[in-house]
Structure 1
Amino acid sequence: MELDIAADELKSALDRLRRAQGQIAGIIRMIEAGRDCEEVITQLAAASRALDRAGFAIIATVLQHCTAVGAPAGEDAERMRARLERLFLSLA
């Protein structure tokens, strides 16, 4: 399934991914500086949540797009639904 959705429709997901990217860079610096383990784990949890939310935002956008546009040529609705379900469950 190609992600042929306009970038502006995925803006919130991209913003979350950029935020997570910054958090991960910060975590690396924290580990290199020998910061407290609890602080590192707290930041890891925050980055993980940011990635999860970005994934859910992408899936929500794809679902919205698919319901508006329909299944791609050559793919029936049931097959598309099964593919979207697998994507959703991969984040759950």
Structure 2
Amino acid sequence: MTQPPHDPHAGHGTMVPRTKEEIENIVKRLKRIEGQVRGVQKMVEDNRYCIDILVQISAIQAALRQVGMQLLERHANHCVAKAIREGSGEESLRELMNVIKQFSK
């Protein structure tokens, strides 16, 4: 007996799928960050000056925060707004607040 395909949105009835353009933009930013991380790894391997490495790590953290904030904003404007319109806003807002707390640690 075959299993049904995995639905990544199962249990997230308020999820509003990202557009192809949104996905491409996020992936492009993450690939840029991935390149920065590889650059830092090479800096460590090359025994570069600590401050130079720390500056690059700070830039990576800022870039990740920007991607996270972009996703949080989109989630609030699309998924949470949809949940509120459909009457399940309390649960969606609680979920959003929990992820904001986790994100801001």
- Kindly report structure 1 stretches of 4+ aligned residues shifted beyond 6 Å: none
**Corresponding residue of 2:46:** 33
Identity %: 24
Deviation at 1:75, TM superposition (A): 7.8
| Correspondence 1:1-92 to 2 at 5 A | 1=12, 4-66=17-79, 67=81, 70-71=82-83, 76-92=88-104
Higher RCO structure (Cα 8 Å, ≥6 apart) = 1
Unaligned runs of 5+ in 2: 1-11
Unaligned runs of 5+ in 1: none
Could you say which structure has the larger radius of gyration? 2
Looking at secondary structure, tell me which structure has more helix per residue.
1
TM-score by length of 2: 0.72
Q: For 2:52, what is the secondary structure of its paired residue?
A: helix
Aligned length: 89
